Structure 1
Amino acid sequence: MKLNINNLNNKSFWKNADIEIPKYNINKVRENTNKNPAWLHFGAGNIFRGFIARIADTLLNDDIINTGIVAVDTHSAGKDDYEMIDKVYKPFDNLTLLASIKNNGDIDKKVIGSITDILHADFINYYEALKKIFISNYLQIVSFTITEKGYSIKDLNGNYISTVKEDISNEPKKSKNIMSIITAMLLERYKNGAYPIAMLSMDNCSNNGDKLKSSVIDIAKEWNKRGFADDGFIKYLQDDKKTSFPLSMIDKITPRPSDYLSKKLEEAGLEEMSVFKVGHNNTALFVNAEVPEYLVIEDLFPNGRAKFEKADVYITDRITVQTAEKMKVSVCLNPLHTSLAIFGCLLNYNFIYEEMKNPLLKKLVEKIGYDEGMKVVIDPKILNPKDFIKEVIDERLANPYIPDSPKRIAADTSQKIAVRYGETLKSYVKNNLDASSLIGIPLTIAAWLRYLMGIDDNGNKMNISPDSMLEELQIYIKNIKFKDTKTIGNNLKPILSNDSLFAVNLYDKKINLGEKIEGYFSEMISNENAVKECLKKYIN
């Protein structure tokens, strides 16, 4: 059985395969959405297909909404690159199979039919299609899962990156960078009625809505200087009764598709379930995901919204979102994930769940979470921090059926490390706690610098995951020689003192971790298996 709208009519097959299918009329929903689009989403990857689209699917099934989501693929935005559309969406009528895997191996399977259309963030071919949706007064929400680096428009020196520099000197219609594209579409909405809209970042980064707002307004101001936009447009963007940028906290692991699940689905009678490449990434028709999921959103929707609460979404105030987000990204999940990613790469682990079988690595993340982070965590009330972290360590990270890899999580660590560890260090200072007594966090930072050498713990060369700051960081790292601790010199100081990177200067007297990290690093490069020995020495 191939997954498409027509074959959903064969209800006996889906029932026998224990796969839930939509209760609503998909074609009718698509017709409604085409007439009155309410929700547009940028970023058509797994977290969208397996979580955001599931929310809309639930609301459709329960007859709470009657329109779906128009998705926009952002891969290689500005280029004629439509692999995601041509291989993942169109051949299967934009349907997705969501497989939620419990840690005992049980699988809940359902077809998601809420994605009504798929476009591309490419103004060459999709400008008019995007504009048509953006200027609709029915449009309530434009949401995003484009990864944290998608919002970056400047480098660490405060200069615009090349694509943005090109965009702000051209008319908006020629934009190529995703932030410029978004700003250009908002400009069209402003010119065609200035209807209210919520721009909702659902990316896993601190104060995500503020990052989105800052980037959009910066670009708008540059266009204003050049006469492409007027002062009224800036006011439109700055007035949250017109254009809002709600904060959110999102949490659900949707890793690359597993061959295990591919075989299971094929055994159930489904065709074309194999894993294939889109660009450099493995993908599939299905999305495999863990069962736990959390989405907390600031209630700031000037053009109205669906009753997201009915789909297990927390709708709350700004402070609660910030507290929940900080709890997750600075204490209860992301710091643990990053630590496992870094050590996992150095110690040649293929999967996170395998690392959790190593008593030392398990103790490491318990120390970072329970001992070091929990001292400064603030309870958001809607989620209990101790229950949350217990679920993370005992169930989620240890789930053998969620094959998340250290290499995937290690990507762009430079963009994440300030929030995942720096915020905790700042909280130690704020609460007059002794940051210099920490072990797990500085050990992880030292291991990250060791990882940047591109040499594993056996002394062999290893590939480093993509990172936008890799070249800049390796200017210092490349001068350090494996097994020669005398070459460390002052090479680490420009990195460890960079408060843009870590949110603090690690040599600051109130932090006092710079020399400690240098010492850990020195031990880790002293010989083969030195990383493993460091874990044995300091984690107990």
Structure 2
Amino acid sequence: MGPSHSEAQRLGASSLAHLPADVERPGYDRAQLRPGIVHLGIGAFHRAHQAPVTDLALGASGDLRWGIIGVSLRSPDTRDALAPQDGLYTLSLLDTDADGASRETLSVVGSVLRVLVAAEDSGAVLAQIAHPDTRIVSLTVTEKGYCQEPATGRLRRDDPDIAHDLADSDAPRSAIGMLVHGLARRCDAGLPPVTLLSCDNLPSNGDTLRGLVLEFAGLRDPGLAEWIAAHCTFPNSMVDRIVPRTTDADRQRIATRLGMDDAWPVVGEPFLEWIIEDRFVNGRPAWDQPGGARFVEHAAPFEHLKLRMVNGPHSALAYLAVSAGLDTVSQAMADPALHDYLDALIREEITPTLQSVPGVDLVALRERLLTRFSNAALPHRTQQIAMDGSQKLPQRLLGTVRDRMRAGAGYQRLALALAAWMQYLRGYDEQGNAYPIQDPLAEELQARLASAGQGSDTDIQRARALIGYAPVFGDLAGCEELSVEVARHAMVLRQQGVRAAVRLF
């Protein structure tokens, strides 16, 4: 559902002075703010994570060269909501107190100056990337937005958007195409290079982005690829904050608190983490304020830890919960059997594959994670997490499976998570309720599963069909040991349901 538009008093620059005293607002003069960042994929996560941290940096440093020009790749909803509000919106942080009562803190974020819609005017996006004031181009376009093969990280040259963008430099559709064509304009104009900062849940996300950009640029113009490789930087980063979709109930509750309408607020948990390699070719905001980012020399250990210990369990729980008909993560965590399964998955199968990270207590991290997932004030929908499994699971679960197999160690709970994904791809839960599947490879995956037939050995045939799909499973494709293990759990899921399956351990 798109944002609502009320005729009542609306959040905006002229109404900031009328906000209640307990609502935080930008701590700098927005009239002096200038754009220095172009951000592709200005969805809820960016507006609840990087944009508020940028707001902190602007207020603390007084360096106002780092305003954000957001880019929505396809939908105009965010632009249409924020333009009448001068780019302002409310961030709601939700949790519970010691007695279990919900509590909420509100702040108005001012770092977003305006939003462009690439589908309407990609030329404006290219011009902004090539603007002399632009120093950083950042991204939160989700895993599928990189147009890569999940198992290898290589550019999917047969992707329709990539094929289009290679042929048309003036109206690119993909994030990779927009970056390369925008950088080409900078290079041609003799402008300084920029930092390209991925903020998506990909392993070595900066290195991955660099490889995709250089591959695309090399196909377009080898000289451009050489310029990008020599001058632009691609720091790796790790981001973490739970950000559910905003609902009409959120909008109404926040409007009541504000005393005015906000068409497109965002909600999230109080916890925030942002680890960034400090490799910026043309300056950066003072993001390292208390409550903001942490700059490190190498982000890989933190990325590895987060993908396996946060994202992996999140996906495992989501597929089990969707099959059980549970709508939110906190509902799933309130089920003792699912809670115990997740705890044991992290403790017994994931944690042993992790190397120590300076300053990180893995036991405390696990306990904090279980508490975060149990946050009943934050209704994070399991269907939201379940999206795009083909793009997410290679880095969230399959790397851990490989490590367990190499060590000769058990991976039953990981196999159950893969079996739950296979069951999720049926498109209906244990109660027979149908749901849509949002995944760029859904049709191919469902066709493979359907071809397995309906015989007495359906579970092993379906498992072989799924795990034989190399674009997702890579060097695990066709692994009979893994297929047998997944099939064993799939049979229990199909015959007895989710709660029986998680109680087997």
| TM-score, with structure 2 as normaliser | 0.91
1:314 aligns with 2:263: no
Tell me which amino acid in the other structure corresponds to 1:317: E
Distance 1:479 1:530, change over 3 A: farther
The one of 403, 411, 423 aligned to 1:427: 403
Structure 1: gaps spanning 5 or more residues: 225-230, 274-283
Q: Tell me what 1:281 maps to.
A: none
Write the deviation string for residues 134-157 of structure 1: whole angstroms up to 9, x where unpaired: 334443211111111111156989
Task: Tell me the distance in 2 between the aligned counterparts of 1:60 and 1:530.
Answer: 51
Q: Is the 8 A contact 2:38 2:71 kept in 1?
A: no
Which residue is 2:319 aligned to? 342
Unpaired runs of 5+ residues, structure 2, are 1-8
- 3-state SS in 2 of match to 1:19: coil
Query: How many angstroms apart in 1 are the aligned matches of 2:52 and 2:305?
Result: 25
Decide which of 300, 305, 313 is 1:327's aligned counterpart.
Answer: 305
2:412 alignment partner, one of 412, 415, 439 = 439
AA aligned to 1:423 is G
Q: In 2 relative to 1, CA 383–192 (structure 1 residues): closer, same or farther, beyond 3 Å?
A: farther
2:5 maps to what in 1?
none
Cα 1:71/1:389, change in 2 over 3 Å: farther
Report the equivalent of 1:533: 500
Q: 1:1-49 CA deviation, whole Å, 9 max, x = no partner? A: 5311011123xx421xx101122111122xxx1xxx3221111111111
Percent of residue pairs identical = 22
Match of 1:91, SS?
helix
2:10 corresponds to which residue? Answer: 2
Any conservation in 1 of the 2:136–2:196 contact (CA below 8 Å)? yes
Give the Cα–Cα distance (whole angstroms) in 2 for the partners of residues 378 and 348 of structure 1: 36
Matching of residues 33-432 of structure 1 within 5 Å: 33=34, 37-76=35-74, 81-86=75-80, 88-104=81-97, 105-122=102-119, 125-127=121-123, 129-153=124-148, 159-170=157-168, 172-224=169-221, 231-239=222-230, 242-273=231-262, 284-311=263-290, 312-318=292-298, 321-330=299-308, 332-394=309-371, 396-430=372-406
Q: Which SS does the other structure have where 1:108 is aligned?
A: strand
AA paired with 1:218?
A: E
**Shift in Å at residue 506 of structure 1?**
6.5
Counterpart residue number, 1:455: 428
1:97 partner letter: T
Change beyond 3 A, Cα 1:234–1:506? closer
The Cα RMSD (Å) is 2.3
Deviations 1:404-441 (A, max 9, x none): 111110000111111111111222345xx223x22211
Q: 1: CA distance between counterparts of 2:321 and 2:225? A: 46
Residue 258 of structure 1 and its aligned partner are, at CA, apart by 4.2
Report the Cα distance in structure 2 between the residues aligned to 1:326 and 1:153, rounded to whole angstroms: 19
> Deviations 1:324-350 (Å, cap 9, x if unpaired)?
1111111x2111111111011111111
Q: In 1, distance between residues paired with 2:461 and 2:281?
A: 52
- Paired residue for 1:517, among 467, 473, 486? 486
Q: CA deviation at 1:63?
A: 3.2
Match of 2:458 among 487, 502, 519: 487
Assess if the C-alpha contact under 8 Å between 1:39 and 1:70 holds in 2: yes
Q: What secondary structure does 1:106 align onto? A: strand
Looking at structure 2, the residues matched to 141 and 185 of structure 1 have their Cα atoms a distance apart, in angstroms, of 12
Distance in 2, matches of 1:154 and 1:497, equals 15
Alpha-carbon contact 1:497-1:504 (below 8 Å) kept: no
For residue 380 of structure 1, report the CA deviation from its aligned partner.
2.1
Q: Secondary structure at the match of 1:203?
A: coil
**8 A Cα contact 2:150 2:472, kept in partner:** no
**383-392 or 437-446, which moves further after superposition?**
383-392
The higher relative CO (CA closer than 8 Å, separation ≥ 6) is in 2
**Equivalent residue of 2:216, what SS?**
helix
Q: In the alignment, is the contact (CA less than 8 A) between 2:278 and 2:295 conserved in 1?
A: yes
Q: Distance in 2 between matches of 1:126 and 1:524?
A: 46
Q: Confirm or deny: 8 A CA contact 1:298 1:317 kept in the other structure.
A: yes
Match of 2:281, SS?
A: coil
Q: Quick one: distance in 1 between partners of 2:468 and 2:127?
A: 48
Query: What is the aligned length?
Result: 489
Pairwise CA distance, 1:499: 4.8
Q: Alpha-carbon deviations, 1:50-87, whole Å to 9, x = none?
A: 111101111122134213433333342xxxx523211x
Deviation at 1:163, TM superposition (A): 2.0
- Indicate how the Cα distance of structure 1 residues 155 and 285 shifts in structure 2: closer, same or farther if over 3 A, else same: closer
Name the CA shift for 1:336/1:38 in 2 (closer, same or farther; >3 Å): same
Shift of 1:260: 4.9
User: Shift in Å at residue 488 of structure 1?
Assistant: 4.0
